[in-house]
Amino acid sequence: MDDSWKEEISTPALILNYNIMEQNMKHMAHFVKEQGINLRQHVKTAKIPLVAHIQQKLAGNNAKGIAVANVGEAEVYAQCGFNDILITNEIIIPNQIKRLVLLNKFSLTRACVDSEKNIKDLEEMASKYSQ
């Protein structure tokens, strides 16, 4: 097979070799099991819930949720059945904090913090919208 197929694809586009992807996932799953550690894969590279589901299935009991970059990604993955999501960036904008709090009614979703003010803002919004 020549490379002419590449000219037919609109860019930007994610192109995966499924066999290599699955081989890499199996390797990582085996590694974490062998080390006795848990895996929380960061799904920002592929940004495809199906790929994250495959990763979790291969990691088995060593899969401990997923990590995403922002609230929007967390919402997408929660809608796709993920129930342990870590947002790796701080959520500081009020409407984003509100979305995070509301998302927790459906899926355990956490966010990293870097200041006491951020903790207080999250706590305040949670007390307002958690009921």
3-state SS, one letter per residue, for 10-53: CCCCCCCCHHHHHHHHHHHHHHHHHHCCCEEEECCCCCCHHHHH
Tally the domains of the chain: 1
Residue 122 lies in a domain: yes
CATH number, domain of 35, equals 3.20.20.10
Residue 4 lies in a domain: no
Residue 3 lies in a domain: no
Residue 9 lies in a domain: no
State both tokens at 59: 């990691």
Number of H helices, E strands in the chain: 5, 4
Beta bridge partners of 67: 42, 86
Residue-number span of the structural domain to which 101 is assigned: 16-129
Q: Give the H or E element holding residue 122.
A: helix 116-129
Q: In the structure, what pLDDT confidence band is assigned to residue 97 with cuts at 50, 70 and 90?
A: very high
Q: In the structure, what pLDDT confidence band is assigned to residue 14 with cuts at 50, 70 and 90?
A: confident
Residue 46 lies in a domain: yes
Q: Say how many Å lie between the first and final Cα of the chain, rounded.
A: 58
Residue 7 lies in a domain: no
Residue 5 lies in a domain: no
CB 98 within 8 A of CB 122: no
pLDDT at residue number 1: 64
Is the pLDDT higher at 79 or at 63?
79
pLDDT digits 0-9 by tens, 16-28: 889 999 999 999 9
Residue 2 lies in a domain: no
pLDDT digits 0-9 by tens, 37-72: 998 989 877 789 999 999 899 888 888 999 999 999
Of all residues in the chain, what percent are helix, strand and coil, respectively (each to 5)?
55, 15, 30
Has residue 31 got a pLDDT over 80? yes
